[in-house]
Each structure stands twice: as structure tokens, then as C-alpha cells.
């Protein structure tokens, strides 16, 4: 694979983990002591970090280095859901910028809001089990 492909894959994965963990480029700069140009170059795919920086990022996000370096295939996400229809709908939600927030960690959500969502999901699950 060409180096440009690796840069694109890394940039895509880095942005994914930044978004999923509610981090931005400024957070990486301050938290990891990186320069703005360094972080920007990684996020745009202009440059690849050295392995020590990849390890630093992996530790920061609590992931493996391979999570940043390897392309994620669509089949990996398809296997997450047992029902193909659920997988399709989940992907549609994730791809919709307004709805993709449902996949965020909800770091600043009120406990009451999370409990409401949990209760609704449990009620749906009980309904599903009653219909099976």
C-alpha cells in the first residue's frame, strides 16, 4: 500500500477516535504536548506520526496502535449487530450528522436523561421479547 493511503487511513481513524471521545485538535495539543501543525498534519493526512507518537495516541485514547493504523472494513461493523436490518439503520443514524450524536459518549448528559434513554430501551427490549 502506498504511503498516501496509510496517511488517509490514519487521519480517518484519528478523527474517528477524537470525535467518539469528544476531543478536538486543541485537546491533543494541550494534553499530549504537541504542536498545532503536527496535529493538523495528522488530521489532514499530510503526515504520519512516528511510532512513539502512535503509541502515545493509542494510550491517550485507550486503544491499540492497530486501531489507528489499520483500515476498518465494513464487515467489522456489520458483525456488531445480530440483525442486518438493525445494522443498516444504525449505520444510517451514524452517517446522519444530526443523529450521529446518539453514538457519542454523552459525556455531559444529565444522569436523568441517560436513565430515561435506558428505560426506553429496556421497554423496547421487553416489548420485543413479548412479541417473540
Please give the helix or strand (H or E) that residue 84 lies within, else none. Answer: helix 84-95
What is the spatial distance between Cα 92 and Cα 74, in angstroms, rounded to a whole number?
13
What is the spatial distance between Cα 29 and Cα 36, in angstroms, rounded to a whole number?
6
Q: Last residue of some domain: 42, 69, 96?
A: 69
In this structure, the answer to whether residues 64 and 8 fall within a common structural domain is: yes
Residue 109's pLDDT is 57
Number of domains the chain contains:
2
Q: Which of 15-24, 26-35, 61-70, 111-120 has the highest mean pLDDT?
A: 26-35
Q: Is the pLDDT of residue 77 over 50?
A: no
Residue 123's pLDDT is 82
Domain span at residue 89 reads 76-131
List the one residue out of 18, 4, 13 whose CA is nearest residue 46: 4
Among 5-14, 48-57, 106-115, the range scoring the smallest mean pLDDT is: 106-115
Q: How many CA atoms lie within 13 A of 93 on its CB side?
A: 11
In this structure, the answer to whether residues 45 and 103 fall within a common structural domain is: no
Amino acid at each position: 500500500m502506498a504511503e498516501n493511503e496509510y496517511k488517509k487511513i490514519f487521519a480517518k481513524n484519528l478523527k474517528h477516535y477524537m470525535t467518539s471521545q469528544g476531543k478536538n485538535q486543541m485537546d491533543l495539543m494541550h494534553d499530549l504536548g504537541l504542536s498545532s501543525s503536527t496535529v493538523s498534519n495528522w488530521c489532514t493526512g499530510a503526515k504520519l506520526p512516528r511510532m512513539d507518537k502512535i503509541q502515545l495516541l493509542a494510550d491517550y485514547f485507550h486503544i491499540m496502535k492497530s486501531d489507528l493504523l489499520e483500515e476498518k472494513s465494513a464487515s467489522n461493523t456489520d458483525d456488531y449487530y445480530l440483525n442486518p436490518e438493525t445494522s443498516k439503520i444504525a449505520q444510517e443514524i451514524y452517517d446522519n450528522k444530526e443523529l450521529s450524536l446518539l453514538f457519542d459518549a454523552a459525556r455531559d448528559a444529565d444522569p436523568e436523561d441517560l436513565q430515561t434513554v435506558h428505560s426506553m430501551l429496556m421497554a423496547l427490549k421487553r416489548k420485543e421479547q413479548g412479541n417473540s
